[in-house]
Amino acid sequence: MKPTTAMVLAAGLGKRMRPITDAMPKPLVKIAGKTLLDWGLDSLEAAGIAKAVVNVHYLPEQIVAHVASRKAPKIVISDEREVLLESAGGIVKALPLLGSEPFYIINADTFWIDSGKPSLERLALAWDAARMDILLMLTDLDSATGHCVGTDFLVAPDGALARSKGDPTGLIYAGAAIIHPRIFKDAPSGSHSLNVYFDKAIAAGRLFGMKMNGRWITVGTPDAIPAAEAAVAGALAKAV
């Protein structure tokens, strides 16, 4: 079944993006005239997502005001003003808003420009709830802009994943996934990382990956912005 809801992780502090993030949350930083948040939300809209849950913590009023005018997807705010819950903690808090069916997760500070069929559509086609608890969108080092910390996963012939431990033949987690909420059964309510659930799924043989086609872009620091804008221009020109 194709997901109809999504969780957008937008609550981070963006410390490495200072001084820009002294005055705005990182998801509202613009690349090629569009905020990082809107790059992701536009991809979700194109994938037919009806509802996107966006979590907020740092300078939350700016994000709430920014998304208020969006018609699609419908935006629901998950408020983390009291305490920052990290990636998994934010999802656990938002589970009542996300429902009992598999949903997309996307990071609000990375985005991509597809080559060919949209990656989120391909992800939905590859999803198999009988075999998978999590399906990650992946990319290779040559297709990434702004990434500087090596690889994340090795991919078996059937798509199952294992930690790459820095192996240069591995792939990078590209900040988008489909996840079944059952993996959060008995999850703690406090701050914790999605990596806990990646490892849980690996141990059960239920973490899988799909390599995207196109350019993946992450913007971690102010000096990464020009490289990101150049990558967008190059990818769009190549797509024409």
State the distance between the two ends of the chain, measured CA to CA, in whole angstroms. 32
Confidence grade of residue 1 (pLDDT, cut at 50, 70, 90): confident
Confidence grade of residue 151 (pLDDT, cut at 50, 70, 90): very high
4-47: pLDDT as tens digits = 999 999 998 888 889 989 999 999 999 999 999 999 999 999 99
158-212: pLDDT as tens digits = 999 999 998 989 999 999 999 999 999 988 888 899 999 999 999 999 999 999 9
Confidence grade of residue 223 (pLDDT, cut at 50, 70, 90): confident
**240 pLDDT higher than 60:** no
Dihedral sign for Cα 136, 186, 181, 11, please. Answer: negative
Dihedral sign for Cα 60, 61, 64, 66, please. Answer: negative
User: pLDDT value at position 195?
Assistant: 94
Which residues, 6+ apart, have CB-to-CB distance to 126 below 8 Å? 135, 159, 208, 210
Confidence grade of residue 148 (pLDDT, cut at 50, 70, 90): confident
- Burial string for 125-158 (b: 16+ CB within 10 Å, else e) reads eebeeeebbbbbbbbbeebbbbbeeebbbbbeee
Give the CATH number of the domain where residue 42 resides: 3.90.550.10
User: pLDDT value at position 94?
Assistant: 94
Read off the pTM.
Answer: 0.93
| Beta strands 74-79 and 153-155, pairing class | unpaired
Residue 14 sits in which domain range? 5-239
User: pLDDT value at position 237?
Assistant: 74
The pair of structure tokens assigned to 129 is: 């709830």
* The 3-state secondary structure of the chain, one letter per residue: CCCCEEEEECCCCCHHHCCHHHCCCHHHCEECCEEHHHHHHHHHHHCCCCEEEEEECCCHHHHHHHHCCCCCCEEEEEECCCCCCHHHHHHHHHHHHHCCCCEEEEECCEEEEECCCCHHHHHHHHCCCCCCCEEEEEECHHHEECCCCCCCEEECCCCEEEECCCCCCCEEEEEEEEECHHHHCCCCCCCCCCHHHHHHHHHCCCEEEEECCEEEEECCCHHHHHHHHHHHHHHHHHHC
CA nearest to 10, candidates 71, 72, 51, 64: 64
| Bigger pLDDT: 209 vs 83 | 209
Question: Average model confidence (pLDDT) for the chain?
Answer: 92
Place of tokens 């024409």: 240
Total domain count for the chain?
1
Cα separation of 181 and 103, whole Å?
Answer: 8
Percent of the chain with pLDDT over 90: 74
User: pLDDT value at position 105?
Assistant: 97
